[in-house]
Amino acid sequence: MNVIGKKVRKVDGQELITGRAKFAGDYRFPGMVYGSVKRAGVPAGRITKIDADAARQLPGVVDVLTAADIPGPNLIGVLPPFDQPLLASDEIRYDGESVVLVIAESAEIARRAAEKVSVTINPYDPILTVDDALAPDARKIHETGNVTFTKKLIKGDAAAAFEGADVIVEGVYETSNQDHAYLEPETVCAVPGRRITLYASCQSPFHIRGHVAANLNLPASSVKVVQASTGGSFGGKDDVATEIGALACIAALRLNRPVMIAHERAESMIGSNLRHAARIRCKTGATKDGKIVARDVNVLLDGGAYASESPFVTMKTLIHAAGPYTIENLFVESTTVYTNKTYCGAFRGFGVPQVTFASESQIDELADKLGMDRLEIRRLNGLKAGDANATGQVYQQSVGLQETITKIAESVETSAPTTEDDRYLYGTGYACVAQGISNGAEGVDVTGASVQMSQDGSVLVGIGLTELGQGSRTVWAQLASAILGVSLDRVSVRLVDTDGVHDSGPTVASRSTTVGGMAVLKAAEEVKKSLVTMAGLMMKTDAENIELRDGFAILKMDDNARIPIPDVATAAYWTGFPLMNLAFSKAPDADYDHDTHQGDVYIAYNYGTHRMDVRVDKLTGQVKVLNHLAAHDVGKVINPLGLEGQIEGASLIGFGFAHMEKIRYRDGIIQNANFADYALPSIKDRIPTATIPVEDHNPTGPFGAKGAGEPPVAAAGAVFANAVSDAVGVRFERLPITREDIVEAIERGNHD
């Protein structure tokens, strides 16, 4: 019955397939009204007049709110000082800025009424590029200027080391904004009462609770946030749910009626954070043997109008710019700037896909320049246990990069590319990645979980992190099942209710299995103590002689001496042993110098090596992925099926990032805020990802596990670029590499 490492179906799969799962948009309460916002419609300017008379006169309109109606500070954001208004009152910083909230008896009326609101804006010349934003005489988008956040990582002496390098490669790499494109747009439903309850499709319920309370000017203890079933998030519902959640709660308390706000697709793209577009200048120096001796990277991220999670994304690019390699001399500078565009924030991978594309491009270029094997140069420079990484952190365990390279190398002969023919070009790419697991030095890394056994032996797990589709509920259920010896169908994992668990921070950074799992483990271990103590009393032996397994408390020395767990639980209850525990788990403290970014950052890294074989149609630029191998060191695999899902899903996001997805702006206005014009992979574009797990035991994770949700994004994006470059014979320095780009590159090559 031990389910650790077993292929387990999603514990919430059936409810999702059968439609029993309740999404925020499924909630209905008597008297419920609907909210819709009027957005600025121009990327920069100052509001001079708001006229909502026409909207108010529309039958079915219940209320119209402006910034003046917000009881609290009218500010949200990830880190104080919060820089984003719920409703803009004077300055407009991007096209999608919310200005007026209309509440009506139906969502349709609310939308039509919002259209009738007239907002007069005195426009400014929008600042639309990082260069314009950083120009010395640039208009300040925020009072603090146009630099959102800037940091340096300094290790060794890169400048000096370049002097001694035999070969140097240098390039400028660009990536585009990417939309999270979850199936379910952002939705919240606020229900007033003694305390206000917000049902939300969201990623970070505690973050929402804090901002709802602040903007209502109420104590946070008066606000309860309950996660509804959430149809994807990928970082995207990390802060926008805060905005619409606070607005819905304000309206609900004002009207004493339930209020739902559900974004339409266009709003989800325009009015919610995107992946940062990046420009990365990267320079790498190596000896003639291929040993990298120095790297110098300058990362410029376009953060859009508000800070959101830019500080953390900036740090992440800094720390990951070296890739999974031992480079003794590093200089990385990373800066996010404000522009008059949709704000950027968390997105699966969190800055790492951008820098990994640059880094892995340069590794290929270096190999080519040195005439080395592309995989061999990765192996040569790749991190091993005991090596110091980019921040100087040394792991003595769970550095499985080399094994992922070996696994990929071993695969070569079984997946050799077909030879070229007239119509098609064939190529193979490799990419390696290391991605830090958990928040680490970026923020606090704590979680809480509760495990409660009822007298019938069934188990309820609560946790402060969110299930967003990633399969975490299944992992948490497996952990509780394994510790308590009950079958998986006797374990239920509830979605977050902020009342019932520690503030566990955001569900980001691939931390659900590790940091979240450790809390579940800890809570389950405490309940186990009560059970084995009780069973010991019942069997007249010491607790340490009892194990919980297969639904029984079993005497270790005599498998036949066993008591059903429900009987033990009932006896424990009546004897007065606690059957519930709320555990708090804290990752080891990060020990870190924030000036040089040297020190211990993360509790672990996930390491990966990908190989991709592609066939490129010379006429159409169409890329067929023939083969995609993704080897990742994930520590102990808790659920192989879940791991496959994570690696396949993340790889597809990386593929979309590298090949298809591009937010197109014209004069600061997004031109393709719909799924007809914004190309992203559909089910027909699914690539044939094969997961190759490497299990290098991680002492800081439950049963030795590490997170896996993000790293494949970066590797898949980079490996696609390298594979296509290999096929076409041209280096691409900009993502996405679309079919048009490929055709153009082939044509240019033919003319050269």
Check: CB of residue 548 under 8 Å from CB of residue 637: no
Q: How far is the CB of 430 from a copy of itself (least distance, A)?
A: 39
Query: How far is 437 from 633, CA to CA, in rounded Å?
Result: 12
> 């010991």: which residue's tokens?
536
Query: How far is 651 from 712, CA to CA, in rounded Å?
Result: 5
Return the structure tokens found at 323: 């890739």
Quick one: which of 479, 472, 482 has its CA closest to 511?
A: 472
Tell me the backbone φ, ψ of residue 558, rounded to 5 degrees.
-150, 100
Q: How far is the CB of 29 from a copy of itself (least distance, A)?
A: 7
Tell me the backbone φ, ψ of residue 56, rounded to 5 degrees.
-60, -35
What lies within 8 Å, CB to CB, of 602 at 6+ separation is 393, 436, 437, 438, 440, 441, 590
DSSP-assigned beta bridge partners for residue 280: 173, 299
Query: How far is 34 from 268, CA to CA, in rounded Å?
Result: 17
Query: Which lies closer to a copy of itself via its Cβ, residue 251 or residue 480?
Result: 480
Say whether the peptide bond before residue 81 is cis (omega within 30 degrees of 0).
Answer: yes
Query: Which lies closer to a copy of itself via its Cβ, residue 24 or residue 114?
Result: 24
Alpha carbon separation from 229 to 19, 180, 312, 342 (Å, rounded):
11, 17, 27, 26
Residue 254 binds a copy of itself, judged by CB under 8 A: no
Q: In what order do the strands lie in the sheet with 259-262?
A: 61-65, 98-104, 33-39, 259-262, 187-191, 196-200, 223-227
Return the structure tokens found at 4: 């650790």
Q: How far is the CB of 460 from a copy of itself (least distance, A)?
A: 4
Residue choice 186, 239, 302, 445 for contact with a copy of itself (CB under 8 A)? 445
Strands 147-155 and 223-227: unpaired
Query: Which lies closer to a copy of itself via its Cβ, residue 16 or residue 679?
Result: 16
Look at residue 158 and give its three-state secondary structure.
Answer: helix
Residue 456 binds a copy of itself, judged by CB under 8 A: yes
Residue 525 binds a copy of itself, judged by CB under 8 A: no
Residue 105 binds a copy of itself, judged by CB under 8 A: no
Q: Note the residue count of the chain.
A: 752
Q: How far is the CB of 220 from a copy of itself (least distance, A)?
A: 3
Residue choice 139, 142, 281, 494 for contact with a copy of itself (CB under 8 A)? 494
Per-residue interface string for the shown chain with a copy of itself, residues 142-181, x marking contact by CB under 8 A: ----------------------------------------
Chain positions 7 to 26 lying near a copy of itself, rule: CB under 8 A, are 12, 15, 20-22
Quick one: which of 64, 82, 86 has its CA closest to 74?
A: 86
Residue choice 209, 316, 610, 628 for contact with a copy of itself (CB under 8 A)? 209
Look at residue 161 and give its three-state secondary structure.
Answer: helix
Q: How many helices (H) and strands (E) does the chain have?
A: 18, 30
Residue choice 73, 107, 291, 573 for contact with a copy of itself (CB under 8 A)? 573
Burial class (CB in 10 A: 0-12, 13-18, 19+), 53: exposed
Q: How far is the CB of 458 from a copy of itself (least distance, A)?
A: 3
Residue 579 binds a copy of itself, judged by CB under 8 A: yes
Query: Which lies closer to a copy of itself via its Cβ, residue 463 or residue 638?
Result: 463
Residue 255 binds a copy of itself, judged by CB under 8 A: no
Residue 3 binds a copy of itself, judged by CB under 8 A: no
Q: How far is the CB of 21 from a copy of itself (least distance, A)?
A: 6
- Mark the segment that binds a copy of itself (CB under 8 A) among 33-41, 93-101, 351-359, 498-506: 498-506
Per-residue interface string for the shown chain with a copy of itself, residues 214-253, x marking contact by CB under 8 A: x----xxxx-x-----------------------------
DSSP-assigned beta bridge partners for residue 586: 446
Q: How far is the CB of 205 from a copy of itself (least distance, A)?
A: 12
Residue 460 binds a copy of itself, judged by CB under 8 A: yes
- Mark the segment that binds a copy of itself (CB under 8 A) among 174-182, 315-323, 557-565, 572-580: 572-580
Residue choice 105, 497, 550, 733 for contact with a copy of itself (CB under 8 A)? 497
Quick one: which of 101, 106, 109 has its CA closest to 50?
A: 101
DSSP-assigned beta bridge partners for residue 433: 608
Residue choice 49, 194, 684, 751 for contact with a copy of itself (CB under 8 A)? 194
Chain positions 285 to 324 lying near a copy of itself, rule: CB under 8 A, are none
93 Rama class: left (phi>0) / alpha (psi -120 to 50) / beta: alpha
Please work out, in degrees rounded to the nearest 5, the angle formed at the alpha carbon of residue 701 by the alpha carbons of 544 and 628. 135
Query: Which lies closer to a copy of itself via its Cβ, residue 18 or residue 750?
Result: 18
Burial class (CB in 10 A: 0-12, 13-18, 19+), 163: exposed
Query: Which lies closer to a copy of itself via its Cβ, residue 29 or residue 124?
Result: 29
Residue 29 binds a copy of itself, judged by CB under 8 A: yes
Query: Which lies closer to a copy of itself via its Cβ, residue 92 or residue 493?
Result: 493
Q: How far is the CB of 491 from a copy of itself (least distance, A)?
A: 7
Residue choice 89, 129, 397, 454 for contact with a copy of itself (CB under 8 A)? 454
Q: How far is the CB of 216 from a copy of itself (least distance, A)?
A: 11
Return the structure tokens found at 618: 């010379």
Check: CB of residue 574 under 8 Å from CB of residue 508: no
Q: How far is the CB of 175 from a copy of itself (least distance, A)?
A: 31
Residue choice 154, 168, 370, 582 for contact with a copy of itself (CB under 8 A)? 582
Strands 329-338 and 292-304: parallel
Residue 541 binds a copy of itself, judged by CB under 8 A: no
Check: CB of residue 472 under 8 Å from CB of residue 510: no
H or E stretch covering 310 = helix 310-320
Residue choice 490, 511, 615, 636 for contact with a copy of itself (CB under 8 A)? 490
Residue 578 binds a copy of itself, judged by CB under 8 A: yes
Chain positions 616 to 635 lying near a copy of itself, rule: CB under 8 A, are none
The sign of the torsion formed by the CA atoms of 493, 498, 504, 505 equals positive
Tell me the backbone φ, ψ of residue 524, rounded to 5 degrees.
-65, -40
Residue 571 binds a copy of itself, judged by CB under 8 A: no
Query: Which lies closer to a copy of itself via its Cβ, residue 30 or residue 59?
Result: 30
Residue choice 43, 210, 290, 621 for contact with a copy of itself (CB under 8 A)? 210
Query: How far is 433 from 631, CA to CA, in rounded Å?
Result: 10
H or E stretch covering 740 = helix 739-751
- Mark the segment that binds a copy of itself (CB under 8 A) among 125-133, 486-494, 592-600, 622-630: 486-494
Query: How far is 494 from 449, CA to CA, in rounded Å?
Result: 11
Residue 589 binds a copy of itself, judged by CB under 8 A: yes
Residue 529 binds a copy of itself, judged by CB under 8 A: no
Q: How far is the CB of 516 from a copy of itself (least distance, A)?
A: 15
Query: Which lies closer to a copy of itself via its Cβ, residue 457 or residue 693?
Result: 457
Residue choice 147, 388, 580, 690 for contact with a copy of itself (CB under 8 A)? 580
> 């503030």: which residue's tokens?
503
Number of residues that bind a copy of itself (CB under 8 A): 58
Under DSSP, the state recorded for 664 is P
Residues lying near a copy of itself in the complex (CB under 8 A)? 12, 15, 20-22, 28-30, 193-195, 209-210, 213-214, 219-222, 224, 443-446, 448, 450, 452, 454-460, 462, 489-492, 494, 497, 499-503, 573-576, 578-582, 584, 586, 589
